[in-house]
Amino acid sequence: MNRTLARPVERKPAHAAAHRALELERLADGRLRATRDGAHSIVHVRRCFPWSQADQFISLRDNEGDEFALVADPHDLSPASRQVLETALAEAGFVFDVTAVEEIEEEVELRHWRVRTQQGPRTFQTRLDDWPRRLPDGSLLIRDVSGDFHRVADPERLDRKSRALLWAFVD
């Protein structure tokens, strides 16, 4: 009878597989390239909700907006890929802080916004069926058609005109 001794199975941490499965690099032209299981794609980063865990659940999307990969935890990436991701998030994670709403006009399928932000005056568009989203801290988040975010940190502190314009679109 041929018996072999059972050896304990060496288990690698879950993130070890992620190191091999997904790699990120910044190309010379500034674009972000993701490689997973031998497939390559130019990607853009998008933070997923919940915003309370903004450093987790990062969607890597191709130019058509389709998800190429989801990074549940950046610490699962290799140190080099994690650094590339953190840099891309810093560049893409810009949120405009709205200090006043000057005008909101509706057109066929779009709503045109003219606002003042801490970063300066800004105009943007939202779809008619996209409404400002109330966050748990009471702030409002507005996502425009190009994917940028506009946050109203404290809607009650806006001037009277801004509140009147905004409240028509807030539940």
Residue 9 lies in a domain: no
Same domain? 101 vs 88 = no
Angle at 30 between CA 17 and CA 116, to 5 degrees: 105
pLDDT attached to residue 9: 43
Does any domain span residue 36? yes
**Which of 40, 60, 92 lies at the terminal end of a domain, its last residue?**
92
**Percent of the residues in the chain that have a pLDDT greater than 90, as a whole number:** 44
The whole-model pTM stands at: 0.51
Q: Which of 26-35, 49-58, 105-114 has the lowest mean pLDDT?
A: 49-58
Range of the domain at 133: 95-167
Task: Note whether 145 and 79 are same-domain residues.
Answer: no
Last residue of a domain, one of 67, 92, 117: 92
Residue corresponding to tokens 């001037």? 159
Per-residue model confidence as pLDDT tens digits over 97-153: 899 999 999 998 999 999 999 888 999 999 998 889 888 778 898 988 877 888 898
